[in-house]
Structure 1
Amino acid sequence: MATAHPNLFSFPSTDYLAQQLRGYVLRAQNAALTRHDTFRLAVSGGSLPTVLARALLAPSNGSPEDTPQFAKWHIFFADERAVPLDHEDSNYRLLKDELVSKIPSELGAPTVHAIDANHVNDDDPQELADLYQEELMRSFAAKDSVKLPVFDLILLGCGPDGHTCSLFPGHELLREKDAWVAAETNSPKPPPKRITLTLPVVTHAVSIAFVATGAGKKDILKKIFDQEEGRSIPSALVNQGGGEKVSWFTDHPAVEGISFPRRGSL
């Protein structure tokens, strides 16, 4: 269990947040490329792909450090819905529409690791989860030689109930210790069938970032950061497990009234 505190950043606008997120992501990219010449990240759905696109598709300042090297990116999904890849609920479709399809050709194309579309209509999404875990094994080495995959970066959202990925408050999946990818058959938020990275995989990443904006998030963020009763909320469990590896990118309305110390720059 990590003991250091997460980093809470608050910015005056989503445009400025996107600028800061760009620098953060590209520093993670550059460090990863130095380590192993590939950048392996996992992303969530929701509003995150839109903010990520605003960050990464902005003009570069021309330096190598400020240039996305998309051809070396391997993008996985922190969670995904058991729907066809072209379905409106698909995180794959959302990322493709918002970001991947808009990347200029000269920047290269990332490798996007989608779920196996042949199994999205199965009654039980466990096979879908098992196949996606095998996909991770191919990139991160065999499971028997690596206890947990080490993502270079995981980018997350935070729901109004504090859920992240498809890890919901009070759910038994929060206690999963061994699987890399788990199945959810009865999500409290539709669609009901999903797969998700497990909590140990999320907190094992080199860097973890949440993006949470808008006044609608201030009540749950106050619970997560200020209140003892919020310690069991999934997003708070990521804070506890990841410690200083975790950074929150918020705007001012999302953290109004929160006493946890926050910063205005990285």
Structure 2
Amino acid sequence: MVAPAAPLAKGGIRQSVSDSLIIAKRNLIRMLRIPEVVIFGLIQPIMFVVLFSYVFGGSINLPGAGIDAGAYREFLMGGIFAQTVTFATAGAGAGIAEDMHKGLVDRFRSLPMARGAVLTGRTLADMVQTALTLVVLALVAVLVGWRTHENLLKVLAGFALLLLLGYAFTWIGALIGLSVRSPEAATSGGLVWLFPLTFISNAFVPSQNMPSLLQHVAEWNPFSATVQASRELFGNIPPGYPTPDAWPMQHPVLASLLWSVVIIALFRTLAVRKYKSATA
């Protein structure tokens, strides 16, 4: 059964911003009331930091640095940070699917709200949660030996690019959450494509070590562009490390911005359209 059409919201952009912030506040309050969601969301990235740092760090050969556990830890963290923000996709999709399943989205749609406010508010709340996760993860990384070698402005720019990528991917999660029938399906659908995306990349090993076809895929992967950009801005690229010839690797900051903006524009449009036509 199609949900009743919502009365038209008035106020244009101002109304849309206001509605989005109200929904974001609602979701942040909900997160505070269920802190275990945030806590369990921290466990996986922390495990990756420890496992990759101490299990694989002494066996991976980095061009320009050789087998150096300290250099690999610095090389690794850009990938771990990026993986963490993109894995928020599954949580965003599951949250929206749960609201759909409970009928909450239909109630929102019956109100005179901006059409994209429910989804925008949800993705903004998820971005705040992701930012908190990054702060904790950065502290853990420092404890295992990660250091930055650029000024504070560049370091903050690196984290900003990571958050922008995470925000872009939450819109993919929003579309998945609106397209499935249960939160469990949204969680599975949000993760199944993320593993190849994050592992066929430069996140954990140099793309130069991959077979030719996978190397090209990794170098044009939007995930890889953000990883490379964050490494540059953090000063975590080993001296003598060869930069691949692919354009996104030569201009990673610009490539990361472009990829994120394109993903947001495309998947926000698709998600809002799906939201308007959602059925009860």
Higher helix share: 2
Same fold (TM over 0.5): no
TM-score grouping bracket, smaller chain normalisation: under 0.3
Which of the two has greater strand per residue? 1
